[in-house]
Amino acid sequence: MKQRVLVWLCALTVAVPFFSQAQQLNVYSARKEALIKPILDKFAEQNDVQINLITGGADTLISRIQREGELSPADVLFTTDVGRLVRAKQAGITDPYVSTELQKHIPANLRDAEHHWFALTRRARTIMYVPERVDPDSLSRLEDLNKPEWQGRLCIRSSSNIYNQSMVATLLAQLGSDATQQWANQFVNAFARPPKGGDRDQIRAVVAGQCDVAIANTYYLAGMLTDSDPATREIAKQVKVLWPNQQDRGTHVNISGTAIIKGAPNKAIAQALLDYMVSEEAQSWYAETNGEYPVREGVAWSQVLTDMGQFKAENVPLEMVGELNEEALKIMDRAGWK
Ligand code: FE
């Protein structure tokens, strides 16, 4: 009898595990929790996965994964700016993922040719102005800011900011070293003040009259226009967006993106998450929440971005931008861009 009970118990153990352990996925994100967790939760629910989310600065997360080495629990990295995605690849912490879904929905210039990183949203770096003080017809190219009439009228953040480094790197990719250095040497004369603060600070400074134009990413203005603070919304409403270089190379565009971590312990689920991130559902939510543009064609833009208008974007293979980062920084330094 005893034996029979034992056999029966064993059979039960095989058929019904004592506890069912959900699959795990470890996500390292340089995007703030509120800007990514809801969409991860949706994926987790649909796929019965438990997602462990760690957030932090992009460079901090990249060094952490490097330090953790082969023991790293990291499966996926989310970050902004192609400069950082290229850094992650160069640091040897990413693995390629060849996916028909990602190739179908992400334009070729917005993903790594060797499949190491992928853009999930696009962001545009524009000129912003107050119409009372600036005639938009007098300014159609980034290069126009080098003309004498723009001296001392521009607010822009410092050269340590990766958005500016990437903007200069795309110029390098398109104009070459000499022309970009010449441009940078002149460009600093347009500065109204030594660079300081973030993009929102530049927008505020324009409205406060400390400068007439600012260079900023549109999602910052989108964020201010939808801010819970009415005073911030009032400031943002006074600012208009000017799309530079529409007649030639297009406005500078950067990305937010993702990569699978080398030796990811949960690779199959990590890959499924990346595929999910280009689904219409994820693209729509992620882009809208971050005030950015979806990479997938046919996914509607948020109302606030739609109101800022359509534009022609730069068409530079973004991996070049990451690779030219160091040279861009040297050019900015030589030009005296603090
Ligand atoms: Fe930003």
Domain extents in the chain: 6-122+254-300, 123-252+311-335
Tell me how far the alpha carbon of residue 101 lies from the centroid of ligand 1, in angstroms: 27
Tell me how far the alpha carbon of residue 216 lies from the centroid of ligand 1, in angstroms: 9
Tell me how far the alpha carbon of residue 2 lies from the centroid of ligand 1, in angstroms: 68
**Whole-angstrom Cα distance, residue 138 to residue 144?**
8
Strands 253-261 and 154-155: unpaired
Q: Sign (positive/negative) of CA torsion 107, 108, 109, 112?
A: positive
What phi and psi values does residue 104 have, to the nearest 5 degrees?
-75, -40
Tell me how far the alpha carbon of residue 36 lies from the centroid of ligand 1, in angstroms: 14
Superfamily (CATH H level) for 123-252+311-335: Periplasmic binding protein-like II (3.40.190.10)
Are 262 and 97 contacting, i.e. CB atoms less than 8 angstroms apart? no
Question: Residue 67 CB: number of other CB atoms within 10 A?
Answer: 9
Domain 6-122+254-300 matching CATH 3.40.190.10: the answer reads yes
Tell me how far the alpha carbon of residue 21 lies from the centroid of ligand 1, in angstroms: 37
Residue, of 151 and 11, whose pLDDT is higher: 151
Give CA 237 to chain center in angstroms: 24
- Could you tell me the pLDDT band of residue 323, with boundaries at 50, 70 and 90? confident
User: Which residues does 181 contact at the CB level (< 8 Å), separation at least 6?
Assistant: 331, 334, 335
pLDDT digits (tens, 9 = 90+) for 61-90: 999 999 999 999 999 999 999 989 999 999
Are 184 and 190 contacting, i.e. CB atoms less than 8 angstroms apart? no
Tell me how far the alpha carbon of residue 72 lies from the centroid of ligand 1, in angstroms: 27
If you ran DSSP here, which 8-state letter would residue 298 be given?
A: T
Tell me how far the alpha carbon of residue 257 lies from the centroid of ligand 1, in angstroms: 13
Tell me how far the alpha carbon of residue 236 lies from the centroid of ligand 1, in angstroms: 16
Tell me how far the alpha carbon of residue 224 lies from the centroid of ligand 1, in angstroms: 13
Residue-level pLDDT at 22: 78
**Whole-angstrom Cα distance, residue 317 to residue 19?**
48
Tell me how far the alpha carbon of residue 31 lies from the centroid of ligand 1, in angstroms: 9
pLDDT digits (tens, 9 = 90+) for 237-276: 999 999 999 999 999 999 999 999 999 999 999 999 999 9
Tell me how far the alpha carbon of residue 331 lies from the centroid of ligand 1, in angstroms: 22
